[in-house]
Homo-oligomer: A and B are copies of this chain.
């Protein structure tokens, strides 16, 4: 079963490249043994740097299941998720990840997955994109408003 879903994720990745629509990545979200959604990389085709295969598959699965979490779902992706997609998988509370290629395979093909993982592991002050902290006291007002909001939907 698992190999069928992984084969589909890989096929999506290959087809995406051959059709010239985007990068070599495909993804399938599965629940109860059935495909809920599929995604392919559409960064360049849609001018959206967040349009990775996993992101689009997660977003579509949530639209179909009418929820903002995917508990009980598994994700099959043709390559180890980049840190953006891995974090999205955590935010979506997905149960399990199957992946084909490694981050280093993506790196070898010219993608920054490994480089971004390395950046995240750096202390903030040593990262390549400068990060400037400012106005923390003012910013805490948003969290105070959140905590004072009895009808808030926690996620």
Q: Could you tell me which A residues sit within 8 Å of B by CB distance?
A: 2-3, 6-7, 10, 13-14, 17-18, 20, 22-26, 43-44, 47-50, 55, 58-59, 62-63, 66-70, 78-80, 82-84, 86-92, 94-102, 105-106, 108-110, 112, 115-117, 119-121, 129-136, 138-143, 145-147, 149, 151-155
Contact = CB atoms under 8 A, between A and B. Distances in A.
A102 B145 contact: no
A114 to B, nearest CB: 12
Contact of A112 (B66, B91, B146): B91
Contacts of A87: 82-84, 87, 116, 120
A150 to B, nearest CB: 10
A149 B14 contact: no
A120 B96 CA distance: 15
Given A22-B153, A49-B70, 18 more contacts: A3-B134, A7-B138, A24-B145, A43-B68, A48-B68, A49-B68, A79-B142, A83-B86, A90-B112, A90-B116, A90-B129, A91-B112, A97-B130, A98-B134, A100-B138, A101-B136, A106-B143, A108-B143
Contacts of A98: 131-134
